[in-house]
Amino acid sequence: MTRNEIIAPENLVYHKPTLMNDNHMHYCPGCSHGVVHKLVAEVIEEMGLTDHAVGISPVGCSVFAYNYIDIDWQEAAHGRAPAIATAIKRLWPDRLVFTYQGDGDLACIGTAETIHALNRGENITIIFINNAIYGMTGGQMAPTTLLGQKTSTCPYGRQADLHGYPLKITEIAATLEGTCYVTRQSVQTVAAIRKAKAAIRKAFENSMNGRGSNLVEIVSTCSSGWKLTPVEANKWMTEHMFPFYPLGDLKDTTIE
């Protein structure tokens, strides 16, 4: 096999999903968003739901998700994505409806919409990117910022007596009657990426089968907001975020 044959697209181990277009992504180097976008695109394509998928893109770093994945999208006001998803799924129950939200959007301004949509058992999937910071607007403290973690609005580190404790929204979701599948994954290694993809697929299948609401949290990095290189950010996430936000399924009602 010649060198040209080796690097030919058909010989690559990884192929870009056909739903991913050629627009240049605005995400910073090392950002987890791009990886999760590709997983979402792959799963939709593999499930044959290209013409039946509707994504809800709210405010935050993921605001331009519609610019990269060629499916139907609806823009939502800050935090309101689960409410929009509820309306769309009820109007078109045969559609795959999911939101794609960051921690500031989902766990702060959108806390009410998130919890009540999940508790109602809406047949939607919420994909929750948790990088413990407001990445788009200047690196401010988010509800998910860890104790002691420094941000632009808590430069000496988050303190419980001053700022309160980090919010474990996924643990809260697991206690709600309406949730079918609640899981926390990551995408920092190939093995982790495979698990995250399987989780997204299970959540989407549950949504289409009318099993109830699904929440897939992806513990992620923010190299720019954390002021770290991509390699350093992955190491920091592993050492600091995973102990507080442990990976794995928190609830799965599909298991007999």
* pLDDT per position as a tens digit, 184-241: 999 999 999 999 999 999 999 999 999 999 999 999 999 988 999 999 999 999 999 9
Of the given ranges (15-19, 82-86, 126-130), which has the lowest mean pLDDT? 15-19
Say whether pTM exceeds 0.95. Answer: no
According to DSSP H, which parts of the chain are helical?
3-6, 33-46, 81-91, 103-104, 111-120, 160-163, 169-174, 190-208, 223-226, 230-236, 242-244
Does residue 6 surpass a pLDDT of 90? no
CATH number at residue 70: 3.40.50.970
Which backbone phi and psi does 250 adopt, to 5 degrees? -100, -25
Q: Does any domain span residue 48? A: yes
Q: Are the C-beta atoms of residues 39 and 193 closer than 8 Å to each other?
A: yes
Which backbone phi and psi does 68 adopt, to 5 degrees? -120, -30
Q: Does any domain span residue 10? A: no
Q: Does any domain span residue 8? A: no
SS3 2: coil
Q: Are the C-beta atoms of residues 97 and 89 closer than 8 Å to each other?
A: yes
Q: Are the C-beta atoms of residues 76 and 43 closer than 8 Å to each other?
A: no
Averaged pLDDT for residues 147-176? 94
Q: Does any domain span residue 14? A: no
What end-to-end distance do the CA atoms of the chain give, in Å? 49
- pLDDT band (50, 70, 90) for residue 153: confident
Q: Does any domain span residue 3? A: no
Does residue 7 surpass a pLDDT of 70? no
Find the largest Cα–Cα distance for the chain. Answer: 64
User: Please, what is the average pLDDT of the chain?
Assistant: 92
pLDDT at 211: 97
Q: Does any domain span residue 77? A: yes
Q: How many structural domains compose the chain?
A: 1
pLDDT at 224: 87
Q: Are the C-beta atoms of residues 173 and 182 closer than 8 Å to each other?
A: yes
Share of the chain above pLDDT 90, in %: 76
Q: Could you tell me which residues are beta bridge partners of residue 75?
A: 57
How many distinct helices (H) and strands (E) make up the chain?
Answer: 11, 7
Amino acid identity, residue 167? L
Domain that holds residue 90: 27-252
Averaged pLDDT for residues 127-149? 88
Tokens 């989780």, residue located: 199
Q: Does any domain span residue 143? A: yes
pLDDT at 166: 95
- pLDDT band (50, 70, 90) for residue 11: low
pLDDT at 63: 85
For the beta sheet containing 53-57, the strands, ordered from the edge strand earlier in sequence to the opposite edge, are 72-75, 53-57, 96-102, 125-130, 213-219, 179-186, 248-252
Q: Which two tokens stand for residue 185?
A: 């994954």
Does residue 3 surpass a pLDDT of 60? no
pLDDT tens-digit map of 39-98: 999 999 999 999 999 999 988 888 889 999 999 999 999 999 999 999 999 999 999 999
Does residue 104 surpass a pLDDT of 90? no
Q: Does any domain span residue 90? A: yes
Q: Could you tell me which residues are beta bridge partners of residue 185?
A: 218
